[in-house]
């Protein structure tokens, strides 16, 4: 705008005005203000005025008002006070009305709504009329001294900037471990079609610097490059600018604890009696101190605490257990970060695949003299199982010679297993010190040790009634 020209135009048109009721500050126009140009006829009783907004915009309708008012000192009248009125805009007649201006209760008003298009240029709007003279009202004889003009200049501005419309997106709730895969779906648009740029902040801290809003209006914040968010609630701000104004919207991001992870390694088969290592890795996305417990059912086998770095697998302190019974066991590892806990199961089979060792020794290997008496013989089994668990001993005896007959001709028992002391590992026998004349008798003592796994080991030893041993 050329403000100097504007001022000249306005003053020329107002030369015959008695007063201007308001003047716009064109250097800093208030969009809500108006200004008014006015002319009062020589009688002093009749005022013509034109009022328009101080600031109008290209493409946006505005209204200006032509008005005639008669002094309140005058009686109400519908008398015509002027004729041939028109509205002229930059020399172009917008409204022409050749009829009279008749008052209604000392007042006449006509409002005109118009819209400017194209380049913003100054417009001088004129209210042209022929005042009919007289005092309060014309005196009956028309008096047309001149055409008086009341005019003012309006100063159209380019269309006002439409601020960007910004949407930071719906609130987000995530577990801390999901941060790397989470994107906040912000968006922005501008009714003027201007290029937009955006950034994300938490408070005053910039999470992501300015970058263009893409053609679809997406203004996302990928959380993967953002440093790990603390647990709790965060308010993120999306700022968008079209180069004129910055518009912001916020979104609440709630970060919840991520449960710890337990990964036991100890599954497998172990020999009965063997110490069983309990090994596992644990991890927690949030880091901190974890408590752990190894359980079988409700029975705690081992427990403790371990400090883990965020997101890093950490081996639990080595634990060993022993004394698990033969068979299948389902152990549970429970890990807690104090908020949430996780568990994992591991299957362990305790087996016994190794047969006992056995080295029986008899208290006598030779029975002499062949007196025909039953001689007590003790066998120490020397049986042992690698599991450390007791074994079960059995024993049997056989011989290579027929039994002696008693006086009634019935065969007599040649041996007997009197008893087995399982705890002591001893077998008590009786063997008859007897043999057919000229023969040798051999007793075979068979000893078997069976472990809890059902594995058995057999050993034999012999006791002999010799042929010709002499005292
Ligand atoms: Ca804009
Ligand atoms: Ca955690
Ligand atoms: Ca065994």
Residue boundaries of the structural domains of the chain: 34-154, 165-256, 261-351, 357-465
Q: What's the N-to-C CA distance of the chain in angstroms?
A: 151
Residue 350 near residue 448, CB atoms below 8 Å: no
Q: What gap in Å lies between CA 139 and CA 146, rounded to an integer? A: 17
Residue with tokens 């709504």: 113
Residue 18 clears pLDDT 50, i.e. is over it: no
Q: Which ligand is nearest to the CA of 175?
A: 2
Categorize the per-residue pLDDT at 3 as very low, low, confident or very high, splitting at 50, 70 and 90. Answer: very low
Ligand 3 centroid, distance to 52 Cα (angstroms): 110
Q: Which ligand is nearest to the CA of 193?
A: 1
pLDDT of 289-338, one tens digit each?
999 999 999 999 999 999 999 888 999 998 999 889 999 999 999 999 99
pLDDT of 142-181, one tens digit each?
555 556 666 666 667 777 789 999 999 999 999 999 999 9
Categorize the per-residue pLDDT at 132 as very low, low, confident or very high, splitting at 50, 70 and 90. Answer: confident
Helix (H, G, I), strand (E, B) or coil at 346: strand
Ligand 3 centroid, distance to 353 Cα (angstroms): 6
Q: Domain 34-154 falls in which CATH fold?
A: Immunoglobulin-like (2.60.40)
Categorize the per-residue pLDDT at 244 as very low, low, confident or very high, splitting at 50, 70 and 90. Answer: very high
Ligand 1 centroid, distance to 226 Cα (angstroms): 30
pLDDT of 193-203, one tens digit each?
999 999 999 99
Largest interatomic CA distance in the chain: 187
Ligand 3 centroid, distance to 354 Cα (angstroms): 4
Query: Domain spanning 261-351 has what CATH number?
Result: 2.60.40.2550
* Positive/negative CA dihedral, 177, 178, 181, 184: negative
* Residue range 435-453: mean pLDDT, rounded: 93
Ligand 2 centroid, distance to 379 Cα (angstroms): 64
Ligand 1 centroid, distance to 462 Cα (angstroms): 112
Q: Which ligand is nearest to the CA of 231?
A: 2
Apex 454 CA angle, 452 and 459, nearest 5: 105
DSSP code string of 41-69: -TTSSEEEEEEEESEEETTS-EEEEEEEE
Q: What gap in Å lies between CA 379 and CA 396, rounded to an integer? A: 12
118 against 128, higher pLDDT? 128
Q: What gap in Å lies between CA 226 and CA 257, rounded to an integer? A: 17
Tell me if 34-154 shares its fold with 261-351.
yes
pLDDT at 144: 56
What share of the chain has pLDDT > 70, as a percent? Answer: 89
- Residue 266 is classified by DSSP as -
Give the highest mean pLDDT range of 75-79, 303-307, 410-414: 303-307
Per residue, the 3-state secondary structure of 112-176, as one string, reads: EEECCCCCCCCEEEEEEEEECCCCCCCCCCCCCCCEEEEEEEEEEECCCCCCCEEECCCCEEEEH
pLDDT at 216: 96
How is domain 165-256 classified at the architecture level of CATH? Sandwich (2.60)
* Residue range 262-284: mean pLDDT, rounded: 91
Ligand 1 centroid, distance to 242 Cα (angstroms): 5
Residue 245 near residue 191, CB atoms below 8 Å: no
Q: Which ligand is nearest to the CA of 455?
A: 3
Residue 24 clears pLDDT 90, i.e. is over it: no
Ligand 1 centroid, distance to 34 Cα (angstroms): 26
Query: Domain spanning 357-465 has what CATH number?
Result: 2.60.40
pLDDT at 220: 97
């Amino acid at each position: 705008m050329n403000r100097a020209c504007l001022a000249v135009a306005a003053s020329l048109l107002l030369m015959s005005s008695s007063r201007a009721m308001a003047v716009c500050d064109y250097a800093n126009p208030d969009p809500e203000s108006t200004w008014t140009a006015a002319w009062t006829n020589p009688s002093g009783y009749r005022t013509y005025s034109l009022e328009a907004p101080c600031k109008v915009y290209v493409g946006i309708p505005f209204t200006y008002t032509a008005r005639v008012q008669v002094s309140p000192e005058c009686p109400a009248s519908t008398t015509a006070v002027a004729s041939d009125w028109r509205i002229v805009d930059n020399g172009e007649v917008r409204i022409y009305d050749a009829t009279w201006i008749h008052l209604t209760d000392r007042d006449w008003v006509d409002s005109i709504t118009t819209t400017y298009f194209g380049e913003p240029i100054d417009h001088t709007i004129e209210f042209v009329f022929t005042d009919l003279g007289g005092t309060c009202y014309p005196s009956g004889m028309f008096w047309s001294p001149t055409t008086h003009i009341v005019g003012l200049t309006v100063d159209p501005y380019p269309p006002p900037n439409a601020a960007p419309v910004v949407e930071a997106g719906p609130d987000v709730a995530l577990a801390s471990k999901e941060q790397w895969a989470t994107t906040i779906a912000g968006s922005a648009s501008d009714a003027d079609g201007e290029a937009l740029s955006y950034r994300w902040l938490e408070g005053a801290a910039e999470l992501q610097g300015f970058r263009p809003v893409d053609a679809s209006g997406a203004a996302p914040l990928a959380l993967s490059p953002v440093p790990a968010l603390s647990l709790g609630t965060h308010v993120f701000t999306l700022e968008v600018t079209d180069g004129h104004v910055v518009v912001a919207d916020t979104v609440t991001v709630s970060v919840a604890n991520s449960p710890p992870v337990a990964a036991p390694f100890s599954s497998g088969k172990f020999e009965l009696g063997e110490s069983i290592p309990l090994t596992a890795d644990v991890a927690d996305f949030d880091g901190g101190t974890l408590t752990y417990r190894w359980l079988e059912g409700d029975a705690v086998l081992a427990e403790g605490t371990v400090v883990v770095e965020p997101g890093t697998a950490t081996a639990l302190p080595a634990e060993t257990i022993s004394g698990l019974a033969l068979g299948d066991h389902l152990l549970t590892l429970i890990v807690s970060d104090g908020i949430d806990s996780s568990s994992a199961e591991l299957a362990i089979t305790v087996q016994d695949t190794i047969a006992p060792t056995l080295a029986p020794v008899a208290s006598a290997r030779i029975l002499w003299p062949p007196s025909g008496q039953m001689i007590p013989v003790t066998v120490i089994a020397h049986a042992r199982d690698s599991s450390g668990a007791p074994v079960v001993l059995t024993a049997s005896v056989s011989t290579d010679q027929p039994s002696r007959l008693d006086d009634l001709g019935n065969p007599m028992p040649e041996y007997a297993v009197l008893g087995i002391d399982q705890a002591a590992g001893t077998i008590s026998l009786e063997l008859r010190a007897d043999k057919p004349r000229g023969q040798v008798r051999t007793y075979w003592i068979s000893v078997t040790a069976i472990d809890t796994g059902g594995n058995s080991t057999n050993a034999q030893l012999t006791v002999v009634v010799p042929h010709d041993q002499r005292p």
